[in-house]
Structure 1
Amino acid sequence: MADEDQTVRIDGTLKFPPVAGSLEPPTQGDPGRRRLLKRGLIGAGAVVGALALLYGVDLLLSQGALPRGTTVAGVDVGGLSRADAEQRLHSALDARIAQPLKVRAGDVDTTLDAKSAGLAADWPATLDQAGEQPLNPFVRLVSFFDRRESPFVSKVDESALDKALQGLKVDRDPIEGTIRFDGTTPTAVNPQSGQRLDGAAARRAVVDNWIGGAPVTLPVASASPKVSADAVREAVENYAKPAVSGPVTVKGDGKDATLQPATIAAALGFSPGDNGKLAPKLDHGKVVEALKPQLASTEQQGKDAQVVIEGDKPVVKPSADGRGVDWDKSLAGLPDLLSHKDNRVVTATYAKQPAKLTTEQATQLGVKEIVGEFTTGGFAADSGVNIRVVAEKVNGAVVKPGETFSLNGYTGPRTAKQGYVEAGIIENGAPGTAVGGGISQFATTLYNASYFAGMADAGHTEHSYYISRYPAAREATVFQNPDGSSVIDLKFTNDGPTGIAIQTIWTPQNITVRLWGVKRYQVESVPGERTNFVEPQPRPGPAHNCHASNGGPGFTATDTRVIKDLTGREVSRHTRKKVYDPAPKITCG
């Protein structure tokens, strides 16, 4: 027989051992215990019935009202009717909706305008969600003691929201570290991280949180620089400082050149390398600019072939090859050499330098006859000096088939160093002077020669004010900055199958430009009537060096170029229109 503290199965029933302080499950053979169980069940039923009655009453009483304990965007609307809840939400949230939405993306704090970003409240949907009565008894019981946040539903114009997010200017590329030289002293410039807005996640963050009243955090992805700050400092110590520790000697044929630390510092730059370190970048142009004059006497200059006119006949002047420093080969080992403080010597490598236009090439250009020419005159003596200098420079220039001739590009800087002098110009409608004045007359003459040769116009600009010695709407001006950079240029393209040689003939009275090649066209200029005249207005001149002027009227002019082949068949017709400003009347004193 089993002990009393064990459970024993008897006739399919279980007998539980007695436990101190507990009720022993009643058995069929224990009437007292059966009565106790019956009373317990009746009591439990009464409790359940009471709870069910309470649940039903609560459910009936809450019909037509929002569930107890409900909040929307932090606003308590529990127990209110739908109309009252909407009114309370408007009172609490309308001002919040109208305020700029504060957002933070990485290290950028800014704002969004909800309306411009396509955000608006969907009040019916918001109240529908808030008004759903919970049927779970436990949930309804908990609602007496807790709050339930119901979602605020938004209307979203996604395209407007995307546009607004893109306009936040959150994205920032990482800034790579580098090395800056103050004279010959290198200084580390530390890198800075960048960031990129996560568009999809940012859109979700705004839609979910814009009504909450607190700043919205927009997710960003960090963009790291390729080179660390430690790598920058390492480059300063191991490369930049040795690079400017002393001069570099370049040994030429019979003469040496010296590359000074200041030039090295000015020419030395750094960029991220593939190995996570800074890689030095040497500006060969600056290095060559410093070394070339020092080794110029060791080089032999070459000469391009020219087509010159002798006795009204084109003659090819032969080319000559030169011998000079091959700077690419000579400087190839310089970047590695700069990391050392000792044995800083480079040996210059010399190479043959062929002419850009050889004798054979010039002969094959087929230049044999005048294809276009033009003459202008009436210039002052000082302007005549500049016209002569530029004419001598351009005389003999060759334009190969398919090439474009640029007057500014061919002459280079036109300064006193090249022999130009101060001469008259028109500046803002008033007479003035400048070094190189008068070059526009040569430009007009060259333009007209190319015009009648049938060359393709590759870009020209007329004067702002009409000058009577030039054909209206068929003239050109040029201008350069003091450093020789082009501002207003004259260009034409040789679109024919043979070459073009430029001949210039200067006299103290006039300048003639002839283009030689193989004649393909007959060209006619058809000037239009001048219209829309505008009278000049008076204007006081400068206090110093004033030149009085009667001015001149402004007007509109046209010119039509008609190109025909040698049989007289029209090939093309083009009209150019020019509106000339009135030149003001300048009064002095």
Structure 2
Amino acid sequence: MTSRTYSSRDAGHPHARKRRRSLWWLWTLLGLVGIGGVLYATDLVMSEGTVPRGVTVGGVDIGSMSPEQAEVRLRNQLDAQVKTPVTVTAGDMETTVDPVTSGLTVDWDATVDQAGQQPMNPIVRITSFWQTREVGTVSHFNEQLLGGTVSRVTSDLSREAENAALSIDDQGRPEVTDDIDGQSVDRNAVDDGIRRHWLNADHRIAVDADSTDADVDREDAEVAVRDVVDKVTAGDVVFTGRDNVNGVLRPADMGKIVTFTPDNGSFRTDWNVDAAREILSGTLSATEVEFRNANFEVNGSDLVVVPSQDGVEIDWDKTLDPLADKLLDTTNRRHEVSYEDHKATYTTEMAQKANFDDVMGSFTTGGFAGDSGVNIRRVAEEVDGAIVLPGQTFSLNGYTGPRGEAQGYVEAGVIENGHADRAVGGGISQFATTLYNASYFAGMEDVAHTPHSYYISRYPAGREATVFEGAIDLQFKNTFDTPVLIRTSADSSSVTVELRGVRHVDVESIPGPKTDYTDPERIELDGDTCSPSSGSRGFTTSDTRVIRDLDGRELSRTTTTTKYDPSPIVTCR
């Protein structure tokens, strides 16, 4: 084994210099590592408990802040943004969502927490000086408010398909409204879109929509324009009437007459005949003459003949049928008006020969109260002088019209549910019974009469009538070829009705027996208007009317059966 001793001259040897450089780099590296370790430890200690460096939320830097500071900064800088209304779109529709009223808020504490803890990786800590890391917000939802908003948005973004529309304007030109596709959105998709994207930077959310086509579109409208509108507006359609008077349907009128309705994939054309008639009547009504049978004006005891007049009437059914064919015909735009001539069935000459010398039928009733008498005299005054022409039907309700206080009628006694009550017009039924019997014995045809539900002893059983305005009427028809004059008279105790004219028949009334009696029930009533009553039994009876000509030959025999309810026994409490 040998040893070597280095002298001072060895220090300049190349190997020695190389060793010295290696040691220098080693010490430098160790120094740097030591410094880095110190810096890392210092940074780690100083940043403990803060948000990691480089973290942003919505573009707001909250790195190296305490959670409290970060939350305050986010609230200050993002508060307006999270309250900004959001536009939700689907197809070509849109609506808005107000976060405040929709229960959409940010959980700032949870948002800061999700930034995480300080990273232990030194490389991550070093790169965080120039790199940023965006973390999302944590939303909080008020489920009740959000549910209402989702329902509204779903409705706002949905619509039924709208068909195209077609009409003719007041200038005779077609007017087409385009069809609109329908669309619908899925409620769950709306809910998910709002939850996920309500904080988008552009404040917009897009939701997929399913579309449905309209049943009738613009192309269908164009077909109807070509096939119908262009033809009916090709020019005036003239209807030639009598006396050189014409009615004209102009293109500008067609919008009132011709309308279009979507129907099963096309437009259905509807033809308004009434509208066409109204337009044409503006001029053609001058060619009509009102039909009028002869009649009489009664002035006290004097009768003045009102002359008859033959009538001329347009037969609109024949004139306008078929309306569609006439309006669509572009080669023939002129058509004849059809008329009907009506000859008077009761002429002036007949009226001038008329006489009212015979009493055809007469009847008198009495026994009414004073207030009922006011109404009986009032209705008798109204009916006195009424004329019933041959073939005409007389209606008591129709002739008098309303019978209220404004017409001079007063409150009086009536029978309501079998017991006494009061109403305006009480007593009119007594006049109706009197008129019914007069017409009965005059041989008038019974068109409508209604007996009372309860028998009233001052009237003939099975041969009486009641009336009620708007519901129950008394009607009879003059089947003879001569007119009838109704004459009335009434005082404080009785009322009489006569039917005057030419007597044609004799009438006999054969009353039937009373059968099938029913006993009354007992009732108790309250009130000042209560009137006690002993009641009466109900029964069934009949009346047979026999009509004979003046030579005694029987012409008819008619039996009418009437059933009366029992009147209750009334006790007043």
TM over 0.5: no
Q: Return the TM-score normalized by structure 2.
A: 0.43
> Which of the two has higher C-alpha Rg?
2
